């Protein structure tokens, strides 16, 4: 069985396991209540599937957004319920029984999800100094974000809050490290999200590279939307910025024919910045003389325990590291994919203070 087919099977089995525990806990209730709660439970569990399989421009936006929120949230609800109930069942094997264990588990999971939702809605602003061994005429303030995932999960109202947060940092330059769009361009047009993106204030401009989700939404459709904004889309190209700064924007790894990093013509005597959505081949970044790379994609797992998985998949799944002579930062993302929770990770906006330790001569 392929991984694509295995995931929904495991998801349904997990829900059946939770439902079985729930039925045991609900024995004292009348048949009518049991039927009602069963319909609610399986309605929530099965809402995950139409959210991904049923998309139509003629469908009401509020309905698709509701299915998205419930369906993806139920994924995490199921994960945490299964993990907690497995602990309960293991304890029972050792004859350790907890009275009302199902209700305790349910309460703890719901409290955890409420915390995760609040944490997601309140991004962290991180500030980091990036000191170069190359001359700069003056320091720069760079606001960098990744994985905004505009669509049915992150709408115009949330985007307006993000733009307000960006502008509050008074950036010289704004960088978007891919996955600006989730997996469908339709809600962006319906809500005119381009209007909010055009409110970003950065004298040196707003630059973006595509991510894998931008490709899921359709490369040409994304290009058409981006052209209605002030954003400069870099796809295997270099932008020449003031102070001789070279900003390389790589196409996403979804394009298997993208240009190798070593093929870019750069002047390594001047500052070189790199935007690359997925943080792979970081040793190549160092070999090519890149001073600073900003990436996203990993979400740092978004929720525990998936953080363990991303830490093993990626050489650097989150944060800052010096590799060779290159400084690299991988962001956990400003928004998120799917479930509206941050548990064990942060939604973040990063402010880089770009400086030089050389005399400006």
Q: Check whether 97 has a pLDDT greater than 90.
A: no
Give the three-class secondary structure for 292. strand
What pLDDT, on the 0 to 100 scale, is given for residue 1?
54
Q: Mean pLDDT across the stretch 283-295? A: 96
- Measured at the CA of 31, the angle between CA 28 and CA 37, to 5 degrees, comes to 90
What pLDDT, on the 0 to 100 scale, is given for residue 53?
62
Q: Go through 91-101 and write b for each residue having 16 or more CB atoms within 10 A of its CB, e for each that does not.
A: eeeeeeeeeeb
Radius of gyration over alpha carbons of the chain, in Å? 23
Q: Check whether 21 has a pLDDT greater than 60.
A: yes
CA dist., res. 331 & res. 320, Å (int): 9
According to DSSP, residue 348 is labeled E
Task: Return the structure tokens found at 261.
Answer: 């990093």
Note the pTM of the prediction, 2 decimals. 0.93
What pLDDT, on the 0 to 100 scale, is given for residue 50?
74
Q: Mean pLDDT across the stretch 150-170? A: 96
Report helix, strand and coil shares of the chain as percent, to nearest 5. 45, 20, 40
Count of C-beta atoms within a 10 Å radius of residue 71? 21
Task: Return the structure tokens found at 311.
Answer: 């830490």
What pLDDT, on the 0 to 100 scale, is given for residue 57?
54
| Structure confidence at residue 302 as a pLDDT band (50, 70, 90) | very high
| Structure confidence at residue 151 as a pLDDT band (50, 70, 90) | very high
Q: Which residue has the higher pLDDT, 96 or 283?
A: 283
Q: Mean pLDDT across the stretch 104-113? A: 97
DSSP string, 244-290: G-EEEEPPPTTSTTPPPGGGS---TTS-EEEE-SS---HHHHHHTT-
Q: Mean pLDDT across the stretch 263-288? A: 95
Express each pLDDT in 31-84 by its tens digit: 899 899 999 999 999 988 776 665 555 678 888 888 888 989 999 999 999 999
What pLDDT, on the 0 to 100 scale, is given for residue 98?
85
Cis peptide before 305 (omega within 30 of 0): yes
Give the three-class secondary structure for 163. helix
Decide if 327 contacts 320 (C-beta within 8 A).
yes
| Structure confidence at residue 5 as a pLDDT band (50, 70, 90) | confident
How many Cα atoms sit within 13 Å of 114 on the Cβ side?
Answer: 6
Q: Check whether 174 has a pLDDT greater than 70.
A: yes
Q: Which residue has the higher pLDDT, 55 or 306?
A: 306
Q: Mean pLDDT across the stretch 7-22? A: 93
Can you name the CATH fold of 125-356? Purple Acid Phosphatase; chain A, domain 2 (3.60.21)
What pLDDT, on the 0 to 100 scale, is given for residue 243?
82
What pLDDT, on the 0 to 100 scale, is given for residue 41?
94
CA dist., res. 249 & res. 244, Å (int): 16
Comparing 5-9, 166-170, 239-243, 312-316, which segment has the lowest mean pLDDT? 5-9
The mean pLDDT of the chain is 92
Q: Where in the chain is the domain with CATH 3.60.21.10?
A: 125-356
Q: Mean pLDDT across the stretch 12-31? A: 92
Nearest partner of 88 among 27, 25, 41, judged by Cα: 25
Helix 3-25 / helix 61-93 crossing angle, nearest 10 deg: 70
What distances in angstroms separate CA 28 from CA 17, 32, 100, 215, 226, one per listed residue?
20, 12, 13, 51, 57
Residue 348's DSSP bridge partners are 124
Task: Return the structure tokens found at 351.
Answer: 């402010």
CA dist., res. 324 & res. 316, Å (int): 14
What pLDDT, on the 0 to 100 scale, is given for residue 64?
84
| Structure confidence at residue 361 as a pLDDT band (50, 70, 90) | very low
């Amino acid at each position: 069985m392929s991984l694509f087919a295995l995931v929904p099977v495991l998801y349904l089995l997990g829900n059946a396991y939770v439902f079985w525990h729930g039925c045991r806990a609900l024995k004292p209730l009348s048949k009518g209540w049991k039927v009602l709660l069963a319909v609610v439970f399986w309605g929530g569990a099965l809402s995950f599937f139409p959210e991904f399989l049923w998309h139509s421009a003629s469908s009401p936006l509020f309905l698709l957004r509701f299915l998205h929120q419930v369906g993806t949230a139920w994924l995490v609800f199921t994960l945490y319920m299964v993990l907690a109930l497995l602990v309960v069942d293991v304890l029972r094997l050792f004859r350790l029984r907890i009275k009302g264990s199902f209700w305790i588990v349910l309460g703890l999971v719901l409290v955890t999800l409420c915390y995760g939702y609040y944490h997601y809605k309140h991004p962290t602003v991180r500030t980091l100094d990036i000191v170069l061994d190359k001359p700069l005429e003056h320091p720069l303030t760079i606001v960098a974000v990744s994985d905004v995932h505009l669509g049915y999960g992150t709408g115009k109202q949330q985007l307006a809050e993000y733009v307000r947060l960006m502008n509050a940092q008074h950036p010289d330059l704004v960088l978007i490290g891919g996955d600006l769009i989730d997996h469908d361009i339709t809600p962006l047009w319906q809500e005119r999200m381009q209007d909010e993106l055009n409110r970003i204030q950065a004298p040196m401009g707003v630059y973006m590279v595509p991510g894998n989700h931008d490709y899921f939404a359709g490369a040409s459709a994304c290009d058409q939307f981006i052209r209605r904004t002030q954003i400069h889309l870099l796809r295997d190209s270099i932008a020449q910025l003031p102070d001789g700064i070279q900003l390389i924007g790589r196409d996403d790894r979804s394009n298997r024919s993208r240009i190798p990093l070593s093929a870019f013509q750069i002047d390594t005597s001047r500052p070189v910045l790199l935007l690359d959505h997925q943080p792979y081949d970081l040793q190549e970044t160092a070999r090519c003389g890149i001073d600073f790379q900003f990436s996203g994609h990993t979400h740092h797992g978004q929720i525990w325990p998936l953080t363990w998985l991303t830490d093993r998949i990626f050489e650097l799944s989150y944060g800052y590291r010096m590799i060779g002579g290159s400084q690299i930062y991988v962001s956990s993302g400003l928004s998120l994919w799917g479930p509206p929770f941050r548990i064990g990770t942060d939604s973040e906006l990063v402010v880089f203070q770009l400086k030089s330790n050389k005399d400006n001569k």
